[in-house]
Amino acid sequence: MDIGFLGTGLMGAPMAKRLQMAGYQVHGWNRSPEKLQALVAEGIQQADTPVAAIAASQLVILMLTNAEAIQSTVLSPEAIPKLEGKTILQMGTIAPQESKAIAAAVQTAGGEYLEAPVLGSIPEAQAGTLIVMAGATPEQFNQWKAVLACFGPEPKLMGPVGAGSGVKLAMNQLIGTLTTAFAMSLSLVQQEAIDIEAFMGIVRQSALYAPTFDKKLGRMCDRNFAHPNFPTKHLLKDMDLFVQSADSFNADVAQAVAQLVQRAVEQGLADQDYSAVFAAVNP
C-alpha cells in the first residue's frame, strides 16, 4: 500500500522510516526538501508537493507543525479535489476543536479522517515504542490498526475524533507543568545550598517522584539544553493550545507555565530542550 507522509521533521522522519521498513511504499513531503534526503536513501519516494503525495497514496499521514500548516497543505484549494476516497491520519499535536474542524472539511471533500497523536520522542519513534492515542470510529481504528502499530505496539482508541487530541494535550500539559514545578523546587534547593543528591534521594522515595525529574536533572544543573528531542518552542505551542482549549474550567496554572516557557523562548532558547524552562525560573 502507498502511504503519503507530510512532515518529516524530528519525529516524522523516523516514523516514515518505520513505515518503509514495514513494507509500505512511503511518499514523503517536507517544507524543507533537504530533510528528505536521508529518507530517499532508504527507499522513500520524494513528493515535490503535498498534492503529489496525496494523489499517490491511499492513506496520508500528517506530522505537521500545527493546524495552520494542515490548512495550507491538505486543505489548500489545490489539494481539496484530491481528497475524495482518501483517508487522512492526523498524528501531530493540535487542539480537539481544530481536529474536529479539519475532519469536517475532509469529509465534505469526500475523504475520511482520523487522528492518532503520539506520546514519546525521537528514541521511541525510532524504536516503534510510541504511545498512540487514536480518535476515530471503531471501524476506522480496526482498519488502520496495523499501520498505527508500526509506531507503537499497543495503539489505544480513546474515542471519536477530538478524544485523541484531547488526551495528547492533557499529557503535554503534564510535561510542561511537571517540568516547571521541578525547576522551581530545584531552584530553591540550589538557593539554600542543599545537597542536590540528598534532595533527589527524598524525591525518589516519595509518591511525588516522576521519572522526568531524573531525565532533566542533569540538563538543569549544567544548564545544557542542546540537542533536544522536544524543543521549547513546541512546548510553548502545546501549553498555549491547552489554555485555548480550556473553555469550561480554570487553566490559570497552565497559563502561568506558558508564560515561563515564553520567557525561555525570549532568552533565545526556542530550539533548545524544553527543560530550558529552568532558565526562565532561575535566570
Q: How far apart are CA 150 and CA 127, in angstroms?
A: 9
118: which 3 cell numbers?
Answer: 503520539
Selection from 212, 150, 158 nearest residue 180 by Cα: 212
Domains 2-160 and 166-281 share a fold: no
Tens-digit pLDDT string for the chain (283 aa): 999 999 999 999 999 999 999 999 999 999 998 888 899 998 999 999 999 999 999 999 999 999 999 999 999 999 999 999 999 999 999 999 999 999 999 999 999 999 999 999 999 999 999 999 999 999 999 999 999 999 999 999 999 999 999 999 999 999 999 999 999 999 999 999 999 999 999 999 999 999 999 999 999 999 999 999 999 999 999 999 999 999 999 999 999 999 999 999 999 999 999 999 999 999 9
- What is the model's pTM? 0.93
Q: What are phi and psi of 189, to 5 degrees?
A: -60, -45
Selection from 260, 267, 237 nearest residue 98 by Cα: 237
Helix axes 252-264, 232-245, angle to 10 degrees: 160
For strands 131-135 and 118-119, give the pairing. antiparallel
Domain ranges of the chain: 2-160, 166-281
pLDDT for residue 194: 98
First to last CA, the chain: 52
Q: CATH classification of 2-160 is 3.40.50.720, yes or no?
A: yes
The dotted CATH code for 166-281 is 1.10.1040.10
Per residue, what are the HEC states of 144-206?
HHHHHCCCCCCCEEEECCCHHHHHHHHHHHHHHHHHHHHHHHHHHHHHCCCCHHHHHHHHHHC
Beta bridge partners of 3: 26, 59
Locus of grid cell 511537571: 178
